[in-house]
Structure 1
Amino acid sequence: MQLNALRYFVMVATTGSFSATAKHYQVPSSSVSRFISQLEKELGQQLFYRNTRSVRLTEMGEKYCVQIKDVLDTLDLANEEIAGKNASLRGVIKINTAVALGRSHLSRIIYKLQEVYPDISVELMLTDRFIDLVQEGVDIAIRIGQLQDSALIARKICEQRYVLCASSAYLEKQGVPQHPQEIEHHACLVYKGGAGSQLWYFRQTLDDKPIIIEPQGSLKSNNVEVLVNAALEGRGLVLFPTWIFEHSYFKNAELIPVLSNWISSVDTHSVGIHVVSPENRIRSQKVRTVIDFILNEIGDPPYWDKWI
């Protein structure tokens, strides 16, 4: 069993493409296909489902990929330690985060990352559920909320900041609330997830007892984009974290912040955003470099808080 075959296997699993893998390693596509076929023959297992449109892992291939990635990561770590800090960064890195955060922000950061480190291939896994990073073979995750797994190494990005806002057309017609209790007389666009409809909390300082508002309106949804688009169309007030909104919404006055002198949230406690990694991954120079790159791009305070 050749090491190249294992590296090609992991890259095909990441990219879903034999040609992309061949391009990455600068070898003919036929070579990648031949190595993978020989690997499957040696293992006595089919690792990929192949058709003219796509390549995807079999169930056995998914299990094998997680195990082999661990082996390759250990080997790369040993090579990094011998080569020193001047070694070029290469290989596959798997990143997980929430769907909205990944689509709005992390994907853009990854594009910049790959301009600086063209030999790094990224598998971006977007899901709104907390997954087992070790079991899924994830190197880095950006998580929103309370950290539960003490086995993960975490670095805090920021506290999540919320903004209550509405379109200028809505505010001109319905008026601008001057106090949280006035929200009860407004149309609200309410997020309703698995735990039910969100409550809105308002404080003037972090030590204050919050004013709790149960927002009411004719539109509730478990989809952020639906509610933000409704706010842009003048349907009511919406409360979300600052990172949910596009910069242009505030720059072009499509949305106007309301009650900016109040601290707003949808939780009784502050919610942090962290970048986390399994202990066995954080030892890798590649993982540490990518984490530092992500943190530097987001900034402190995060760039999306500067939009308001």
Structure 2
Amino acid sequence: MQLNALRYFAMVAATGSFIATARHFRVPASSVSRQIAALEREVGQQLLYRHTRAVRLTDAGERYYLTVREALDLLDMAAEQAADKDTQPRGLIRVNAPVALGRLHIAPLLNDLQKDYPDLSVQLTLTDAFIDPVQEGADITLRVGRLEDSGLVARLVAPQRYILCASRGYLDTHGVPDTPEQLVAHNCLVYRGQWGAQRWYFRQPGAPHYDAYDVTGRFQSNNAETLVSAAEASLGLVLFPTWLFQAGSFRKGRLVKLLTGWEASVEAEPPGIHLVSPENRSRSRKVRVVTDFLLERIGAPPYWDRV
């Protein structure tokens, strides 16, 4: 069994593409296909379903991939430890992030990362689903919200600061709320994720606890950017963390901040943003390099709060 065949198989499983795998390893696609076919014969199982437009794992391939991925991670880590400490990190890094945070912030930062570290290949997966990094094979996961005691290694990226806002057109028609109690008279554009509709929480600065306020509106979505666009179109009020808004939305007057004398949240304890990694992967040099790069570029306080 050739190590290259295992690496080709793992990359095809991750990308769903023989062509992308061949491009990554700089070999002909026919070589990738031939070595994986030989691997299937040696294993005695079909590992991949091959279709015209996509490639996916068989049930046997899924089980085999989990084991192969762990073995390759261990081999790569051993090679890193044996290499000169000044050697540039290389290989595949798998990053998972929520859709909006990933699109607005993480993807541009990873573009910069690859300019600084050209030997790194990045696989970025964007999903709002709550994934298990171990099962999904993610080296680094951006997690928004409270962290459970999961055994994952976590580093705080930033706390989240929330803004309640609406367009000037909406406020001219419906009035400006002075207190959270007055939100019941407004059309609140509420995010609805896998745990249901979010509640909105407010407190006076210095108060020990947030109070929950049940808000309603005629439009809900599981996509935050859609709701921000609806607010800019004068459909109602939104409450989201600062990283979700473009600075120009406020500078150009598309949105107006509301209840600025209050602190807001969507949970009783304001959630933060963390980078989490499985314990075994957190020891990898390439994972440490990417983690440090993201933390440095985001900064403290995060750059989106300094705009």
How far residue 124 of structure 1 moved from its aligned partner, in angstroms, is: 2.3
State how many pairs are aligned: 307
Change (3 A) 1:284 1:303: same
Aligned AA for 1:144?
A: V
Q: Which residue of 1 aligns with 2:45?
A: 45
8 Å CA contact 2:46, 2:58 repeated in 1: yes
Q: Report if the CA contact (8 A) 1:90-1:119 is conserved.
A: yes
Amino acid across the alignment from 2:165: C
Is the CA contact (8 Å cut-off) linking 1:19 and 1:29 kept in structure 2? yes
> What's 2:233 paired with?
233
Flag structure 1 segments of 5+ consecutive residues without an equivalent: none
Question: Mean alpha-carbon deviation: is it higher for 283-292 or for 195-204?
Answer: 195-204
Question: How far off is 1:66 after superposition?
Answer: 2.0
TM-score by length of structure 2 reads 0.91
Contact 2:209 2:268 in 1 (8 A): no
2:189 counterpart SS class: strand
User: 1:33 is aligned with what amino acid?
Assistant: S
Distance of 1:13 and 1:132 partners within structure 2 = 18
Match of 2:134 in 1: 134
Map 1:235-254 to 2 at 5 A: 235-254=235-254
Map 1:285-296 to 2 at 5 A. Answer: 285-296=285-296
Deviations 1:272-304 (A, max 9, x none): 111111110011101111111121222211222
Cα distance in 1 for partners of 2:8, 2:211 equals 57
The alpha-carbon distance between structure 1 residues 170 and 64, as it changes in their structure 2 partners (threshold 3 A), is: same
Q: 1:51 to 1:168 in 2, by over 3 A?
A: same
Report the counterpart of residue 271 of structure 2 in structure 1.
Answer: 271
Q: Which amino acid aligns with 1:215?
A: V
Could you say what secondary structure the match of 1:188 adopts?
coil
Structure 2 match to 1:108 = 108
How many Å separate the matches in 1 of 2:209 and 2:284?
A: 44
State the distance in 2 between where 1:114 and 1:217 align: 43
Cα deviation, residue 132, structure 1: 2.4
Q: Distance in 2 between matches of 1:193 and 1:53?
A: 31
Q: Distance in 2 between matches of 1:278 and 1:196?
A: 28
Is this contact kept in 2: 1:180–1:211, CA < 8 A?
Answer: no
1:78–1:270 CA distance, 2 compared to 1 (3 A): same
What RMSD, in angstroms, separates the aligned Cα atoms of the two structures?
A: 2.0
| Matching residue's letter, 1:102 | G
- What is the match of residue 202 of structure 1? 202
Aligned to 1:165: 165
- 1:250 partner letter: F
Partner of 1:16: 16
The more displaced of 132-141 and 95-104 is 95-104
SS of the equivalent of 2:123 reads strand
Q: Aligned residue for 2:90? A: 90
